[in-house]
Amino acid sequence: MAAAPFLLLAPGTLWLLIFFVWPTLQMLLMSVSTGSLDDGYQVTGSLDAYGTAISRFPKQFGNSLLYGGAATVLDFLIGFPVAYTVAFRGGRYKNLLLFLVIAPFFTSFLIRTISWKTLLGDEGPLLGFLKHSLGVLPAEFTVTGTSFAVVAGITYNFLPFMILPLYVALEKIDPALIEAANDLYASRWQAFRRVTFPLALPGVFAGSILTFIPALGDYVNATLLGNPQTQMIGNVILSRYLTLNDYPLAAALSFILMAGIIVAVTIYARFLGTEQLTG
Amino acid sequence: MSDQSVFSHRVTRRQFVVGGSLAGFAAFLAACAGSPTESPSQAATPGVPTAPPVNQTPTPAVPTEPPVPTGPLQFANWEAYIDLAGSAGDEGVYAPGSSPTIEKFKEKYGVDVNYVEKIGDNEDFYAIIQPALATDLPTGWDLVVLTDWMAARLISKGWIEPIDQGNVPNCVNNLRDGLKNQPWDSNNDYHYPWQSGMTGIGYNAKSLRQAGKAAPTSIADLYALPSNKINFLTEARDTWGLGLLKLGKSADPATTTFDDLQAVYDDLAPLVANGARFLDNSYLQDFASKKVWAGMVWSGDLASSGTPGDTFVFPSEGCMVWTDNMMIPKGAEHKYTAELMMDFVYDPQIAAAIENYVYYVCPVNGAAEIMQEMNAEEPLDQYYLDLIFPGPELVAQMHNFQFLSDELETRLKELFLDLKGV
């Protein structure tokens, strides 16, 4: 009987050991190696790659933090009312509404992002109409190739990752608790602030983590919707890895990103209070 | 649809004829032959990879079962690189059934062809097929078209299937002399050219007129236009090659230094910071949508697939020259069919039909004469003649900035990535 928990954990543990721990260790070793793809890489303990990573790409790290953070906040502001409405006002349309949230995601991530490029193109259906038919925008106005487009793309692409955890948390709330707050003379706003929102915090936490972490590492939106000034750290990792084959630098960049995420999430968890999250 | 209607459509659209410029054509190809190196010897030239030896197995005494074409032939090519008819021709984007040449091939051999305009940049396409090739897996492509330096790289790595010369008699007989004896594959064991072309400047006359700007005649003129309305090429060798010429430096890999590359970077950086873009063939769409007014472009594209007002100019500082080559990636499933396709497009009749649409420089002997007949009725502007048969004075202005030493190539890649912000 004592072995049961271990047996149950075994598949997951094995999976993570092979596909997460082992590659991560390899990456760690790669990040302190020197050499080239043709001559092979030797682990030399050199920290040069970290020095280069930090000194040469502060802007792209900054862009990642800024765009990932902005997209997460926007997703929360857009997603919370949606999740709230579906959970408390959805009624018999709940499943349909949830389906509608997920439906666009049956299409490939790439296709959706490329379609943004078309939709937001300078002469596309939206801007073309606003510029030429309504004449409310100057002909020079452009959206694609700006940081706004990158943030908008990330926000759009990660929205369900925010809505679904929020919905689950809100859906679990016993309406009787809100009724009780009202009975105790809480206004609707007070009931929301003191009862509903605190109970939804685990969803807020999960949703923002699920959005923020992949958004930080995203490179597709910056590639398709950005310009050379709006590239993110994911783009740098990609180019260093695939174009220059500078594996140590790519690995060092990845580790710095990973460390940054761990620090940010730890602070965030402290700030929200872990006991509320597990409770 | 008959051939006649296809051709008459093209002719009316482009006012086409070939007039005695064959001398210029020959001169051009002679110049191409000179690149990347004039040396007839096989001694390794810096920056030029060498091909692995091929055992051309002698024909077995006992006749074997004749091979049967299989399909669908997976054919990856660049945009604006094949003859199109009908609405696809007007839009300049290939759609299944829209290319008379591909349709004729399908009919002749009874196999399907999946022709995809998949390649916009040598490095990008290399990144797609490299992982499969490096692990001895098929790439999924049977026929690919890549530029000399990339072709040389793939061949030297042993990632290209040797061509069974017995299956490609048209190629053997009709390849222009000027394109033979490339130092990286001197016997054409692995490649046959698809088209040659130039990299210069393009602009849309309407866009510039509306903005009150003069049409550029030099690379320096291009740089002086509003930065957010111009494009450079994602093909770093083209962008840097023209960038070197603009600075009055020679675009010759043998003499180019790190400082020269850096000088081009310093020249480009402020333009990129102000919104200049790096594009591949997609400049065709950006020219059409007026997002871009002018840029670095490849010679035939605007003439074949551009919108009214799109114009190519040979910049006064000079231009780049190159050849794109057909090759069969290692492990291709339909190798024999790919060889049939190579042979098919080296039929001068077919080559002329393609040439009559794409406005690049044809590698096939005899195609020019057939084009001449096709277009006998309507005279062809000098503008088109220069694209297809550049005369000696243009040839003298052409530079080949392809075969870089490893050090130069790495430096170029680093600078280019920096410029792109990654």
Instruction: Please confirm whether the linkage preceding A175 is cis (ω < 30° from 0).
Output: no
Q: Does pLDDT of B10 surpass 50?
A: no
Region A257-266: mean pLDDT is 91
pLDDT reported for residue B59: 54
pLDDT digits (tens, 9 = 90+) for A230-241: 999 999 999 998
Q: Please indicate if any CB of chain B lies within 8 Å of the CB of A60.
A: yes
Percent of chain B with pLDDT over 70: 87
Region A33-37: mean pLDDT is 86
pLDDT reported for residue B42: 45
Fold of B198-321+399-419: D-Maltodextrin-Binding Protein; domain 2 (3.40.190)
Contact A227 B421 (CB under 8 A): yes
Q: Binning pLDDT at 50, 70 and 90, where does residue B133 land?
A: very high
Contact A243 B417 (CB under 8 A): yes
Q: Does pLDDT of B372 surpass 60?
A: yes
Of the listed ranges B49-63, B210-224, B333-347, B375-389, the one predicted with least confidence: B49-63
pLDDT reported for residue B8: 37
Region B70-96: mean pLDDT is 89
Q: Does pLDDT of B37 surpass 90?
A: no
Q: Does pLDDT of B11 surpass 60?
A: no
Q: Please indicate if any CB of chain B lies within 8 Å of the CB of A146.
A: no
Sorted by where each begins, the domain ranges of chain A are 51-278
pLDDT reported for residue A2: 76
Q: Which residues 105-134 of chain A have a CB within 8 Å of chain B?
A: 121-123
Contact A242 B127 (CB under 8 A): yes
Chain A residues with beta carbon closer than 8 angstroms to that of B290: 122-123
Of the listed ranges B168-172, B273-277, B336-340, the one predicted with least confidence: B273-277
Sorted by where each begins, the domain ranges of chain B are 198-321+399-419
Highest-confidence segment of A4-18, A258-272, B370-384: A4-18
Q: Measured between CB atoms, which of B275, B414, B422 is closest to A236?
A: B422
Chain A residues with beta carbon closer than 8 angstroms to that of B277: 145, 227
Higher per-residue pLDDT: B17 or A100? A100
Q: Does pLDDT of B89 surpass 70?
A: yes
Q: Does pLDDT of A168 surpass 80?
A: yes
pLDDT reported for residue A264: 87
Higher per-residue pLDDT: B259 or B389? B259
Q: Please indicate if any CB of chain B lies within 8 Å of the CB of A34.
A: no
Region A158-170: mean pLDDT is 95
What tokens were used for A116?
């943004």
Q: Does pLDDT of B38 surpass 50?
A: no
Q: Does pLDDT of B43 surpass 70?
A: no
Query: How close are the terminal C-alpha atoms of chain B, in Å?
Result: 49
Q: Binning pLDDT at 50, 70 and 90, where does residue B30 land?
A: very low
Which residue, among B312, B317, B311, B302, has the nearest Cα to B267 in the 3D structure?
A: B317
Question: Chains A and B: how many Cβ contacts under 8 Å?
Answer: 47
Whether the full predicted model's pTM is greater than 0.90, yes or no, is: no
CA distance B124 to chain A (A): 9
**What 3 state SS string does chain B have?**
CCHHHHHHHHHHHHCCCCCCCHHHHHHHHHHHHHCCCCCCCCCCCCCCCCCCCCCCCCCCCCCCCCCCCCCCEEEEEECCCCCCCHHHHHHCCCCCCCCHHHHHHHHHHCCCEEEEEEECCHHHHHHHHHHHHHCCCCCCCCEEEEEHHHHHHHHHCCCECCCCHHHCHHHHHHECHHHCCECCECCCCCCEEEEEEEEEEEEEHHHHHHHCCCCCCCHHHHHHCCHHHEEEECCHHHHHHHHHHHCCCCCCCCCCCHHHHHHHHHHHHHHHHCCCEEECCCHHHHHHCCCCCEEEEECCHHHHHCCCCEEEECCCCCEEEEEEEEECECCCCCHHHHHHHHHHHCCHHHHHHHHHHHCCECCECCHHHHHHHHCCCCCCCHHHHHHHCCCHHHHCCEECCCCCCHHHHHHHHHHHHHHCCC
Region B134-138: mean pLDDT is 93
Of the listed ranges A213-222, B14-23, B166-175, the one predicted with least confidence: B14-23
pLDDT reported for residue B44: 59
CA distance A154 to chain B (A): 18
ipTM, 2 decimals?
0.77
What is the overall mean pLDDT for chain B? 87
The CATH architecture to which A51-278 belongs is Orthogonal Bundle (1.10)
Region A148-176: mean pLDDT is 94
Cα atoms in the 13 Å half-sphere on the side-chain side of B421: 28
pLDDT reported for residue A270: 85
Q: Does pLDDT of B14 surpass 70?
A: no
Q: Please indicate if any CB of chain B lies within 8 Å of the CB of A229.
A: yes
CA distance A240 to chain B (A): 8
Percent of chain A with pLDDT over 90: 65
Region B319-335: mean pLDDT is 96
pLDDT digits (tens, 9 = 90+) for A109-121: 889 888 888 888 7
Q: Binning pLDDT at 50, 70 and 90, where does residue B26 land?
A: very low
Contact B289 A123 (CB under 8 A): yes
Percent of chain B with pLDDT over 90: 67
Region B270-288: mean pLDDT is 91
What is the overall mean pLDDT for chain A? 90
pLDDT reported for residue B54: 81
Chain A residues with beta carbon closer than 8 angstroms to that of B269: none
pLDDT reported for residue A23: 93
Region B29-38: mean pLDDT is 43
pLDDT digits (tens, 9 = 90+) for A52-71: 999 999 999 999 999 999 99
Region A74-92: mean pLDDT is 94
pLDDT reported for residue B385: 87
pLDDT reported for residue B245: 97
Q: Does pLDDT of B15 surpass 50?
A: no
Chain A residues with beta carbon closer than 8 angstroms to that of B289: 121-123
Chain A residues with beta carbon closer than 8 angstroms to that of B127: 242-243
Contact B272 A228 (CB under 8 A): yes
